[in-house]
Amino acid sequence: MLNPRRDQIIQYLEIMVNDVTASPLFSKGPLSWFKIYQTFKNFCVKEDNSDKQMSLIEKVFQQYLFHKKISQMLVREGLDRKVIKAISNFLNSLPKSANSSEKSKRSHLGTIRSRLSNGDVLILKTLENIERIAVEINSDIVNPLLKDIQEVRLKYFQAYNNPKSGKVESAEKRNSDQTQPMFGIILQQGSGPTDISRLRNNTDEKMTGRSPGAPNESDKNYSHSHVYFTHGLKSVKDHKYRDAIESFSKSISSNDKHSRAWFYRGLTRCLLGEEYVGKVDIERAAKLGDAEAIRWVSSNKLP
């Protein structure tokens, strides 16, 4: 007996199974819960084609089309090439020598770059993996890559929230304050851990540079480090978060034991959605004895 709906479902499954560029969606992406190959086998061979199962596959196919459309919008804007170039620049900036573990991570980044070059869909999980691997390789020179990944992430969210427009908003039209509703983190000092959601807009609170864990004024590089740190605090209050991260990074370069610089760089990175690298910075601050960072880590308030 003919069943047009079943025939259509089979076409949906065949499209998804044969689309090699969509593998990130079904491996570690938003559709990883859906066992595409097993479902295809059960539906076509075992004829598991109940109305409930067909409705589920139809919904998954619509989600598949949605994520493909988002990725295509980003590709039209050249953002896939931006990610590929950012990975290449990062890998080229690394020293040639590397241990086996680092070589493996470099190879992983290279694989991601190759798959994107071959047309893989661009999803948030891929961006998160790039950030995580790059930080594990070398957290000191990763800022340019993180900046590019963050720009792509913000445009991803713009496309995700407005897929009918067919395009994403240009960076020039985006105000830095628009990151506030999307990502939130405390940027205050001395009050102890608090829920991130309640402190989303607390970036205007007065902050000072001296606290337990800040460098001693007798330290050789205290002066330069503290000047950069102060600049970083001012940039945070002015909502110039990328400038703040750059200043905190210079402070750390001048004195890598400046725990407050590590702490605030971590918080600022979290504010921009770079939770993984932000957490690494905050944990580093805690190891250096920063009281606020220790309270955050011990209270499990990290993102």
What is the full DSSP assignment across 88-129? HHHHHHS-S---HHHHHHHHHHHHHHHHHHTT----HHHHHH
Q: Residue 156 in contact with residue 124, Cβ under 8 Å?
A: yes
- Segment 33-45, tens digit of pLDDT: 888 888 888 887 7
State if pTM tops 0.75: no
Domain with CATH 1.25.40.10 in the chain: 179-298
Q: What is the pLDDT of residues 120-135, one digit of tens each?
A: 998 888 888 898 898 8
Q: Hey, which CATH number is domain 179-298, 3.40.50.80, 2.40.30.20, 1.25.40.10, 1.10.10.10?
A: 1.25.40.10
Residues 218, 224, 226, 229, Cα dihedral to 10°: -160
CA trace torsion 151, 153, 159, 160 (10° rounding):
-160
- Residue ranges of the chain with per-residue pLDDT less than 50: 168-220
pLDDT confidence of residue 111: 94
Cα dihedral 114/102/284/219 (nearest 10): -120
Structure-block tokens of residue 216: 């001693």
Give the number of other CB atoms < 10 A from CB of residue 292. Answer: 25
